[in-house]
Structure 1
Amino acid sequence: MSNVTDFPIPARQLSEYEALVSAGPAVLDAIPGAVYICDHDGWLVRYNAEAAALWGRAPDLDHARERFCGSLALFLPDGAALRHEDCPMGEAVRAGVDTRNAEVVIERPDHSRITALVNIRALRDDQGNIQGAINCFQDVSAHKAAEAELLRKNNDLEDFFENSAVGLHIVSGEGIIVRANQAELNLLGYSADEYVGRHIAEFHADAPVIGDILQKLSKGTKLDRHAARLRAKDGSIKHVLITSNSRFKDGKFVNTRCFTTDVTNLREAERAHRDSEERLAATYEAATIGIAEADEHGRLLRVNDAICQMLGRSREQLLDMTFLDYTHDEDRDEDAALFSRQVTGDLGSYSLRKRAHKPDGTTVYLDVKGSAVRDEDGKFVYGVRVIQDVTEAKHMEDRIRESERHLRDLLEALPAAVYTTDAEGNITFFNKACIDIAGRVPALGEKWCVTWRLYTAEGVPLPHDQCPMAVALKEDRPVRDVEAMAERPDGSFVPFMPYPTPLHDAEGNLIGAINMLVDITERKRSESAQRVLIDELNHRVKNTLATVQSLAVQTVRHSGSLKEFAPQYEKRLLGLARAHDLLTSRNWKDAPLDVLAREVIGPLSDAMGQQVNIDGPAVALNPRAALSLTMALNELATNAAKFGALSSEQGRLSLVWKVADRAGQRWVELLWQEAAGPPVTAPSRRGFGTRWIERCLERDLGGELDVVFDRDGLRCQMSFPLRENPHP
């Protein structure tokens, strides 16, 4: 029986990847091109010397291993950065994707870049598993540069042909148009489809001319600015000059290349010039304006009839003069200086208005336009002077100017802001009041309005192109009964009413508009004050009615009969009336405490200085505090006059006060002290007077009250906080 060694196991054949990896370095270096191999994870395992040369570096395969590529950095052809893991080698080892003739840009350590053409193939084992991939790449930078240069030249040539300012077309040996640029098409008005592919003779207005041109070109004769006429699409005839030569190949006439120069305008100008010369000779004398020619010294060489009539002199007289001889003395130097500069060439033409003397002594105003005729060398030949009598126009201008000045002075004197615009809304004039209301100096030419910013009366931003002036111009109608708000650059606001009104010329055409801005600040303040006053009045009336009602109820409650009720009720109503009179006299503004006290106590005492002492610092009471304190003092004073210190001549009354600080709040502390009057007996029960004073001090003012019925005289301490803005 044979031993198993008698049956040798055949050696397994190496895969491509294994064969390439196990091969010595000399094998890869023998390959004519840059080559490197990566394993199935993308790790660089082999590369040849040419790959290192293109990378500009030799990666270390034993220590700091690298993946996918040995270059410093990779980029796409458009310059976008390409990560190594996203390069074609990455796709090959991950998905087995082969790459053929793809371009990438390799950056070397010295930051130079080359364009490489890569070819990558995945390497598989006999089971089809990816073991790695091989990349064969080569430097195609020189090829890319040559390709770019060729493309640039082709683009330049194409650009020259298509965008040339001169018409270009190519005609085949059979006379068929094979190509034409846009200038050629624009010249004749055809599209490319209508022009290219047709025989060139179809577009020539003169058959013998095109026949002669084609015959010369077929024989190799060059054409230089050969005159011809072409028929445009719209039926018009174009005069052109054709420059062309022929292209031959193997002795055969292939095509022609033609430059077409449009000289239609030149021909028309030449014809117009001839017509002009003829017309000038015919109209020179018939012209209604003066025409004269003068030599370099200003002596007149030629004049027409109009200037003779204008100056009141014959032709013979004028031809024996210089134009300075009849010029006004004050205008002579200016005319002479301008003409001298024109003769020397410093000035091509000039215009001036001057005065001239007529033989009868009258003065006329002349508008002079001077130009020069020169020879081919630029030397002055003669001057042409076109002269118009503007005497009447000058007088009219003076009157208009005076009228405009008067109107401007009038508008400047107006207290209201006034400005004008042209028909497009551009500001043409504004007076000083506009500056005051706008808080800025507008610029002539600004649109629609002189204000900085605009708002409606309700405070909504209003664009200038929607302002009342813009509406008046756009709709050609006056705008009335509109209010607006102008914001100044300093942030302040001015309410105003605009009165834009369109302006028309004698034919009814819209020529602009005038607008008056009336400042209604004071009116708005008055309206606001009136609203506040009405609201305050409503509030006061309600409070007063409530007070009157309370007075009536409390007096009735503490009166034994109607007879007893009437004087008590009347007394308290008079106290309330006094308080209202005092506040009304001060427009319901703050009332001084000392004035209020004297108003209440004064009518009840004939000897204020001897019997009554009122003293304390200046204190301004708001209307609510003044009303309540007046009612309280009136109750005390009435009681003093009836039962207390003021009921006898020996009695004395002292009302003093001070202002104290309580936890950051100012309080008024008053002391009412009676003395030397009838003996005081404490009441068995609290009367209406005491209750009323408590109501005024404690409930209305949030204050404090302490009443002491001392036998020597009533003593009442009152205090309440000072509030600047009390709640209703």
Structure 2
Amino acid sequence: MLHQRGVFHQEAGLIDATFENAAVGMAHVSFQGRWLRVNEKLLDIVGYSREELLQITFQDITHPDDLDADLEQLDALIKGDIPAYTMEKRYFHKDGGLIWINLTVGLQRDEDGEPLFCISAIEDITERKANEERLRVLVDELNHRVKNTLATVQAIAHMSFRKDEPIADARAEFTSRLHALSGAHDLLTEEKWMGADIMSVVDRALRAFRLADETRFHVAGPRIRLSPRAALTLAMAVNELATNAVKYGALSVPDGSVQIAWGRFGKEGVDEIVFKWIESNGPEVSMPDGSGGFGSTLLERILPGDFQGEAELEYAPTGLRYTLTAIRPRSADI
């Protein structure tokens, strides 16, 4: 008998140690919801002291939107309809913040099988839920970007393959534009689609053209952060300007050069952002006949629209000049 009692006390001690040292929150809870016994892990999760928590109920710290489902499951458990239940729900931390938990509840019964109290295991899953939400937002954003990219490619194709242009030239233009779009996408991916600095956008868009002669480009300007949409459109615009310069403008002759510059000019609580493309020592240029194609539409309508600004194309005797101007509140990004 003494040996049996010793074994009983030893097992009871192990059970107590398991309860107190569990890696998840553990609690004994009355059928009315009052905390009867809690371990240190649960106190860490909810932020209450032991004395504070034992004076309240689980209903007091459960988010109202999750309470009915919890009480419904608890009622079924007490009636014997289910042996246990598991659910995800939210607790209010003592500091007022929300905690997501994974709750598993079973029953402790007496020797006659009558229920005595609930045994709850509480796992903090707040970080996991936050990761799930970030993933959901990322997937939604990815779907949005894919749709926008497909629409952009469709527009490029529609305006590149025109009836009045030889198919070989159209194919070359289309490929060049896709490369510009792809390069901008690569840059934004490196930046985790949080935007990009204007210098990085211009450098990436000019990379292929600079391979022929680095000295023909003069690029300067301060750091200005662009939104993903503005970065994509500017990259394609710079590609259009450079392609046009190679075919018809300053880069089509040995002594021609291009100056690309931008600046931020403050005045009365707003910033005036100015971007300039200036060709020098090139052949004389003139305004093209007709309504123009993708390039002129991009430069005169799409890019100013994305920058919420205005654009001017000047066919000067010394070469093409393009100026983009956007007025922004001083605290806003483009």
Normalised by the shorter chain, which TM-score bucket?
0.7 to 0.9
Q: Match of 2:102? A: 497
CA offsets per residue over residues 262-298 of structure 1, 9 Å max, x none?
xxxxxxxxxxxxxxxxxxxxxxxxxxxxxxxxxxxxx
1:660 paired residue among 255, 265, 275: 265
Relative contact order, CA 8 A, sep 6+: which one is greater? 2
> Following TM superposition, by how much is the alpha carbon of 1:490 offset from its aligned partner in structure 2, in angstroms?
2.7
Match of 2:49 among 417, 441, 444: 441
The answer to whether 1:410 aligns with 2:18 is no
User: Alpha-carbon deviation of 1:571?
Assistant: 1.6
Give the direction of change, closer, same or farther, for the CA distance of 1:464–1:580 in structure 2 (3 Å limit).
Answer: closer
Q: Secondary structure at the match of 1:499?
A: strand
Counterpart mapping for 1:176-255 below 5 A = none
Distance of aligned partners of 1:721 and 1:417 in 2 relative to their CA distance in 1, 3 Å threshold: farther
> Does structure 1 retain, via aligned residues, the 8 Å contact 2:84–2:104?
yes
AA in 1 matched with 2:169: E
Contact 1:471-1:479 at 8 Å conserved across structures: no
Paired with 2:138 and 2:118, the residues of 1 have a C-alpha distance of 40
Residue in structure 1 matched with residue 186 of structure 2 by the alignment: 581
Partner of 2:128: 523
TM-score normalised by L of structure 2 = 0.81
Distance change (3 Å), C-alpha of 1:598 and 1:558: farther
Secondary structure in structure 1 of the residue aligned to 2:84: coil
Partner Cα separation in structure 2 for residue 407 and residue 645 of structure 1: 80
Distance in 2 between the 1:721 and 1:543 partners?
25
**1:631–1:696 CA contact under 8 A, matched in 2:** no
Return the index of the structure with the highest Cα Rg: 1
In the alignment, residue 85 of structure 2 is paired with which amino acid? V
Task: Kindly indicate whether the alpha-carbon contact (under 8 Å) linking 1:591 and 1:623 is maintained by their aligned counterparts in 2.
Answer: yes
Superposed displacement of residue 487, structure 1: 2.0
Alignment of 1:470-549 (within 5 A): 472-473=77-78, 475=80, 477-480=83-86, 482-505=87-110, 507-549=112-154
The Cα of 1:651 is off from its aligned counterpart by 4.4
CA contact (8 A) 1:605 1:646 kept: no
What is the DSSP-based 3-state SS (H/G/I as helix, E as strand, rest coil) of the residue aligned with 1:477?
Answer: coil
The corresponding residue for 2:323 is 717
Cα offset, 1:687, TM superposition: 3.5
Return the alpha-carbon distance in structure 2 between the equivalents of residues 514 and 448 of structure 1. Answer: 14
What is the CA–CA distance in structure 2 between the aligned matches of 1:399 and 1:649, rounded to whole Å?
Answer: 94
Q: 1:693 maps to which residue?
A: 299
- Mapped partners of 1:650, 1:395: distance in 2: 100
Question: Match for 1:512: what amino acid?
Answer: F
Q: Which amino acid aligns with 1:441?
A: S
Q: What is the alpha-carbon distance in structure 1 between the residues aligned to residue 38 and residue 252 of structure 2?
A: 74
2:196 & 2:234 partners in 1: Cα distance?
11
Given candidates 3, 18, 28, the residue that maps to 1:420 is: 28
The alpha-carbon deviation at position 493 of structure 1 amounts to 1.4
Name the TM-score, length of structure 1 as normaliser: 0.40
Give me the whole-angstrom Cα distance separating, in 2, the residues matched to 1:684 and 1:505: 93
Instruction: Give the letter for the 2:41 counterpart.
Output: A
Q: 1:681 to 1:630 in 2, by over 3 A?
A: same
Q: Name the structure where helix makes up a greater proportion of residues.
A: 2
SS of residue in 2 equivalent to 1:597: helix
The equivalent residue for 2:6 is 395
How far the C-alpha of 1:633 sits from its partner, in A, is 1.5
2:243 is matched with 638
Deviation at 1:600, TM superposition (A): 0.9
Q: Distance in 2 between matches of 1:558 and 1:717?
A: 30
Letter in 1 for 2:83: R
Cα deviation per residue 1:293-343 (whole Å; 9 max; x = unaligned)? xxxxxxxxxxxxxxxxxxxxxxxxxxxxxxxxxxxxxxxxxxxxxxxxxxx
Return the offset for 1:609.
Answer: 6.5
**Cα distance in structure 1, aligned partners of 2:132 and 2:270:** 35
Structure 1 residues 223-242: Cα deviation after superposition (integer angstroms, max 9, x where no partner): xxxxxxxxxxxxxxxxxxxx
Instruction: Pick closer, same or farther for the CA change 1:645–1:420 going to 2, 3 Å.
Output: farther
2:228 matched to which residue of 1? 623
Which structure 2 segments of 5+ residues have no match?
none
Q: Say whether the 8 Å CA contact 1:669–1:720 is kept in structure 2.
A: yes
Match of 1:603 among 208, 211, 218: 208
Q: Secondary structure at the match of 1:440?
A: coil
Distance 1:608 1:560 in 2: 29
Residue 613 to residue 705, structure 1, CA distance change in 2 (3 Å): same
Deviations 1:16-45 (CA, angstroms, capped at 9, x unpaired): xxxxxxxxxxxxxxxxxxxxxxxxxxxxxx
* Distance (whole Å) between structure 2 residues aligned to residue 577 and residue 722 of structure 1: 28
Report the counterpart of residue 286 of structure 2 in structure 1.
682
- 1:554 and 2:159 are equivalent in the alignment: yes
State the partner residue of 1:702: 308
CA gap 1:645/1:622 in 2 versus in 1, 3 angstroms: same
1:446 to 1:593, Cα distance in 2 relative to 1, 3 A: same
Cα deviation, 1:555-596, whole Å, max 9, x if unaligned, reads 234742323321112222222222223223333222222211
Compute the displacement of 1:552 (Å): 2.4
The amino acid of 1:681's aligned partner reads: V
Q: Provide the C-alpha distance between the structure 2 equivalents of 1:613 and 1:452, rounded to a whole number of angstroms.
A: 67
How far residue 393 of structure 1 moved from its aligned partner, in angstroms, is: 7.1
* Residue 570 (structure 1) aligned with residue 179 (structure 2): no
Partner amino acid, structure 2, of 1:399: Q
Determine the C-alpha separation between the residues in 2 that align with 1:539 and 1:725. 21
3-state SS in 1 of match to 2:83: coil
Q: C-alpha deviations, 1:643-668, integer Å up to 9, x for none?
A: 44445675443322222346644442
> 1:433–1:659: structure 2 CA closer, same or farther, 3 Å change rule?
farther
Q: Is the 8 A contact 2:283 2:319 kept in 1?
A: yes
The answer to whether the Cα contact below 8 Å between 2:20 and 2:39 also exists between their aligned partners in 1 is no
Aligned residues: 328
Q: Tell me the alpha carbon deviations over residues 195-239 of structure 1, each in whole angstroms, 9 at most, x when there is no partner.
A: xxxxxxxxxxxxxxxxxxxxxxxxxxxxxxxxxxxxxxxxxxxxx
Whole-Å separation in 2 of the counterparts to 1:464 and 1:546: 44
| CA deviation profile, 1:82-127 (whole Å, cap 9, x unmatched) | xxxxxxxxxxxxxxxxxxxxxxxxxxxxxxxxxxxxxxxxxxxxxx
Separation in 1, partners of 2:326, 2:89 = 46
Residues 1:436 and 1:647: Cα distance change in structure 2 (over 3 Å)? farther
SS at match of 1:587: coil
Q: State how far apart, in whole Å, the 2-side matches of 1:617 and 1:432 are.
A: 54
Q: Which of 431, 450, 456 does residue 39 from structure 2 map onto?
A: 431
Distance in 2 (CA, whole Å) between partners of 1:507 and 1:617 is 80
RMSD: 3.5
Is the Cα contact below 8 Å between 1:697 and 1:720 reproduced in 2? no
